[in-house]
Structure 1
Amino acid sequence: MKQRIWHGGITTTELGIGAAQFGNLYTETTDSESDDAVEAAWDAGVRCFDTAPHYGLGLSERRLGSALGGLPRDEFVVSTKVGRLLVPNPGGESEQDTDFVVPASTRRVWDFTRDGIRRSLDASLERLRLDRVDVLYLHDPDDYEREALEQALPAMVELRDEGIVRAVGVGMNQSAMPARFIQEIDLDVVMLAGRYTLLEQTALGDLLPAAALRGVSIVAAGVYNSGLLSTDPIPDDAHYNYQKVPQRILQRARQIAAVCAQFDVTISEAAVAFPLQHPSVVNVTIGARTSEHVAAAVARNAAAVPAELWSALVEHQLLDARAVFNR
């Protein structure tokens, strides 16, 4: 499997596995399913894994840590996130967490202070049963830009400078705020979900030019735009940005799929390949629940996608012309 070098010197596979579903996202997952997914990823050569305390109130981190146990630590890269502390939630044991099917015995509290960032990382390491993580992201600080700039990100840079983590950045579903962050703070990487995909290239107007100028690496997540680009043919009840897909977006996605078919490429294969064409994108991280999900991601990453496809999509006005590069 191909590897890419990240800003800060990390070298890992261009395909990563996201472990949000290990935290019972929308439906329950078993320990064995998570174990099998990591085993399948490892056997396929994947060496990059992403998680967060937010995913199932720590369940994703616990399951990922357990599944990685016994594997050679220097051979894989793990990222997790900070910004939300998990604190006791007395009396909440019978409640269910929003989006994640887990008992609400703890709850999330935003904390961007230096102490909060370090406490969050310490707790993640305990759940992961690791002595270190490689990459630390600030998770979804959309409503806390000032706190992020003045407190959290400097604290994370301090952790990197102390050698406690190897790279720091932000993980967000928008491109404008990370573009401002990387011009203000010496960050290594941005995990960008949904804003640089085969369907939507918003980041070409702000984040990607700034990343290229600053030498910041981009990890592309959400490349299926909430599942819309993951199935061929695209069903009428597909989702986009976590909601039912609007008709105009559905029509555009199907037009893209039709052009892909002319090159004997599925829209899901093109969706995985597309972000990696940009020089700043070092990794595509795809969420997986089972070994079958992992196998599908690996196969799509390995698919041969001709460069002529991107030019054809530009000609049909289905892709921003600025997205076509000669790597």
Structure 2
Amino acid sequence: MIESTTLGRSGVKVSRLGFGTSAIGGLYAAMTDEAAAETLDAAWAVGTRFFDTAPHYGAGLAERRLGAFLRGRTDHVVSTKVGRLLRPGPAAEGDEGFYGTPPLVRVRDYSADGVYRSLAESLERTGLDAFDILLIHDPDDYWEQAVRGAYPALARLRDEGAARAIGAGMNQSAMLSRFVTETDIDCVLVAGRYTLLDREAEKELLPLCAERSVGVIVGGVFNSGVLADPGPGATFDYAPVPPEVRRRVTELAGLCDGYDVPLAAAALRFPLRHKAVSSVLVGARTPAEVAENVAHLNMDIPEELWAEL
């Protein structure tokens, strides 16, 4: 089974291995409702109780599938995100990397009204009564609107008991550091910036979070795939793998091979070694992938390998 821990000062208990739902929203390839339910069931069976979703994932498809699965289940923690509203419109197959999705387009909105609309629509899609964690999603080019509109709205929702923890989720660490120092958020979700390939977050963000007891969730531990399967079709940060990154991955894989440890296991476990990190989010498309992720989480990895890595 998977251990749980408290997310910073929030009091919210999250499983050390959380389930990211972008894959069941059709990231890279479409999947059926039945396949998504089987994968979620496998994650639940091994003790996963923390699920992260967003309107962005499959234009609401991930939220709908997760909500249908959780119906009748209790003692789980769910995070979703605000910042993208879904509106009817022509969406090409593969729009923003998602396949098999409904005809909806994403509209950026980090205003207070946008937050309330987004939350109401996410509750309707999932059928949940409330979300435990609400995150401002990818406000890279919207700092002013996010900090003056979305953040105060989330703070009010937290004060009113409509959410237990609030924060921001991004693929960069610099703006997350600003949220930690300039607002009163409970947690951050940093994707792809604290991995075996990219340790940007350990320079400023993680020390700040440790100092202020802000919980850290790490996503993108495989940098969109290359650390899980570095084969010819691999991607790095959702794009073809640059030659210098591929050379680094080959070097890391060679070090792991010397200790008979899969590179994916080291990549999954690496962020959890930092005292500020409460949970890593890993997606899965099949029960077999869920089982592999749990095996990697529980693998005995020698300290000597960590020293070399």
Q: Same fold (TM over 0.5)?
A: yes
1:107 equivalenced with 2:111 (yes/no) = no
Q: Residues 50-99 of structure 1: CA distance to partner in whole angstroms, max 9, x if unpaired?
A: 11001111111001111111212xx111111001111232xx37866332
Q: Residues 201-234 of structure 1: CA distance to partner in whole angstroms, max 9, x if unpaired?
A: 0111221121112111111100001111103xx3
In structure 2, relative to structure 1, the CA distance for the partners of 1:10 and 1:94 (3 Å cut) is closer
SS at match of 1:61: helix
Inter-partner Cα distance in structure 2 for 1:191 and 1:48? 13
Inter-partner Cα distance in structure 2 for 1:198 and 1:310? 10
Query: Aligned runs of 1:277-292 on 2, under 5 Å?
Result: 277-292=273-288
Moved over 4 A (4+): 93-96
In structure 2, relative to structure 1, the CA distance for the partners of 1:263 and 1:94 (3 Å cut) is closer
Inter-partner Cα distance in structure 1 for 2:184 and 2:102? 36
In structure 2, relative to structure 1, the CA distance for the partners of 1:111 and 1:192 (3 Å cut) is same
Select the residue among 21, 28, 39 that pairs with 2:30.
28
Share of identical aligned residues, percent?
Answer: 46
In structure 2, relative to structure 1, the CA distance for the partners of 1:263 and 1:168 (3 Å cut) is same
Which deviates more, 169-178 or 201-210?
Answer: 201-210
SS at match of 1:288: coil
Asked whether the 8 Å contact 1:96–1:104 carries over to 2, the reply is: no
Counterpart residue type for residue 172 of structure 1: M
Query: Aligned runs of 1:47-126 on 2, under 5 Å?
Result: 47-72=49-74, 75-89=75-89, 92=90, 97-102=95-100, 105-126=103-124
SS at match of 2:96: coil
Which residue of 2 is the match for residue 325 of structure 1?
none
Asked whether the 8 Å contact 1:137–1:168 carries over to 2, the reply is: yes
Q: 5+ residue gaps in structure 1? A: 314-327
1:197 equivalenced with 2:195 (yes/no) = yes
How far did residue 262 of structure 1 move?
2.0
Q: Residues 172-191 of structure 1: CA distance to partner in whole angstroms, max 9, x if unpaired?
A: 00000100111011111111
Select the residue among 297, 301, 305 that pairs with 1:305.
301
Inter-partner Cα distance in structure 2 for 1:196 and 1:108? 28
Inter-partner Cα distance in structure 2 for 1:210 and 1:267? 29
Asked whether the 8 Å contact 1:19–1:289 carries over to 2, the reply is: no
Inter-partner Cα distance in structure 1 for 2:93 and 2:60? 16
In structure 2, relative to structure 1, the CA distance for the partners of 1:79 and 1:2 (3 Å cut) is same
Which residue of 2 is the match for residue 6 of structure 1?
7
Q: Residues 144-175 of structure 1: CA distance to partner in whole angstroms, max 9, x if unpaired?
A: 01111111111111111111011111110000
SS at match of 2:169: strand
Query: Aligned runs of 1:164-179 on 2, under 5 Å?
Result: 164-179=162-177
Inter-partner Cα distance in structure 2 for 1:284 and 1:124? 23
Q: TM-score, normalised by structure 2?
A: 0.95
Asked whether the 8 Å contact 1:38–1:68 carries over to 2, the reply is: no
Q: 5+ residue gaps in structure 2? A: none
SS at match of 2:188: strand
Inter-partner Cα distance in structure 2 for 1:88 and 1:253? 41
Corresponding residue pairs, total: 307
How far did residue 124 of structure 1 move?
0.4
Inter-partner Cα distance in structure 2 for 1:134 and 1:196? 24
How far did residue 44 of structure 1 move?
0.5
Inter-partner Cα distance in structure 2 for 1:3 and 1:9? 12
Inter-partner Cα distance in structure 1 for 2:55 and 2:283? 15
Which residue of 2 is the match for residue 37 of structure 1?
39
1:130 equivalenced with 2:132 (yes/no) = no
